[in-house]
Amino acid sequence: MDKVQEMLKDMEESGVKADCVTYNTLISYFSKAGNFQTAHAMMRKMIRDGLVPTVVTYGTLIHAYCLNGNVEEAIKIFRDMGVRSKVTANTVIYNILIDSLCKNRNVEFALSLMNDMGVKGVRPNTNTYNSIFKGLRENNWLEKAFELMDGMTEHGCNPDYITMEILTEWLTAVGKTEKLKKFMQGYEVSAPSHGIAATR
C-alpha cells in the first residue's frame, strides 16, 4: 500500500492525473487479494479526486466479495450502486450475483434478480440461464425450469453445451425426455470450443 501511495504521489507531481482506469485497476487488485479495506479506501479516494465509480468499479468489488463467499456484502454494493450512485448493473454483474446465490442455494433470490433484469431492461444471456438451471435442478423445481426453457426460446437465447448437459442429465432422470426433445428442436449445440450455431 505504501508503494501504491508513493506511485500515486509521483503521478500527481509529474502532472499525470489518476483516472478511472488507474483506480479500477487498484480496486481490482486489492479486492481480489481480499484486502477490501484498502479497495474501499481507493474507491473513496477516487470519489475525492472528482471521479465517478463506474459499472466496472462496482463489478470488480461485487465479483471479489462473491469469490470470497460474502454474497451479502456483494448484494449491499449492488443495491448501493443503483440507489446512491445511479449506476445500472449490466448482465455480467447480474450473472455474478445469480451464480453465487444459486451456489449458496438461494434460488428464490436469484430468480428475483432475473426478474429485476427484465424490469431494468438488462438482457439475460446463456450464462444467466445456466446458473439458474443449476439452482433449479438442485431443488428439482421442474415447472420453473420449463417456464425458463420456454422463455429462453422466445427470447432467442441459444443454449450451449452446458445448458444441454444440465437439462439432459436432469430431465432424463425424471422422465421428461419429451420436453427436452421439444426444447432441442431448432438448435444445433456445438462442442465446447466452437460456440453455438443456431439453425433456426
**Is residue 22 included in any domain, yes or no?**
yes
Q: Residue 77 burial by CB count (10 A; 0-12/13-18/19+): exposed, middle or buried? A: buried
Dihedrals phi, psi of 5, to nearest 5 degrees? -60, -40
Q: Above pLDDT 90, what percent of the chain?
A: 65
| Confidence band for 189, pLDDT divided at 50, 70 and 90 | low
Of the listed ranges 5-14, 135-144, 181-190, the least confidently predicted one is 181-190
Greatest CA span in the chain, whole angstroms?
Answer: 70
**Is residue 180 included in any domain, yes or no?**
no
**Is residue 132 included in any domain, yes or no?**
no
Complete DSSP assignment for the chain: -HHHHHHHHHHHHTT----HHHHHHHHHHHHHTT-HHHHHHHHHHHHHTTPPP-HHHHHHHHHHHHHTT-HHHHHHHHHHHHHTS-PPP-HHHHHHHHHHHHHTT-HHHHHHHHHHHHHHTPPP-HHHHHHHHHHHHHHT-HHHHHHHHHHHHHTT----HHHHHHHHHHHHHTT-HHHHHHHHTTEE---GGG--EE--
CATH code of 33's domain = 1.25.40.10
| Confidence band for 196, pLDDT divided at 50, 70 and 90 | very low
Measure the CA–CA gap between 61 and 34, rounded to whole angstroms: 10
Of the listed ranges 78-87, 176-185, 187-196, the least confidently predicted one is 187-196
Complete DSSP assignment for 134-170: HHHHHHT-HHHHHHHHHHHHHTT----HHHHHHHHHH
139-150 pLDDT, tens digit per residue, is 999 999 999 999
Q: Tell me the CA distances in angstroms from 46 to 5, 23, 83, 100, 157, one per residue in order.
A: 13, 6, 19, 28, 38
**Is residue 155 included in any domain, yes or no?**
no
Measure the CA–CA gap between 128 and 126, rounded to whole angstroms: 5
**What's the pLDDT at 85?**
76
**Is residue 120 included in any domain, yes or no?**
no
Q: Which domain holds residue 28?
A: 1-88
Average pLDDT over residues 170-175: 93
Number of domains in the chain: 1
**Is residue 139 included in any domain, yes or no?**
no
| Confidence band for 95, pLDDT divided at 50, 70 and 90 | very high
Average pLDDT over residues 25-31: 92
**Is residue 66 included in any domain, yes or no?**
yes
- Cβ atoms of 90 and 122 within 8 Å: the answer is yes
pTM comes to 0.85
Q: Which residue has the cell 472528482?
A: 50
**Is residue 177 included in any domain, yes or no?**
no
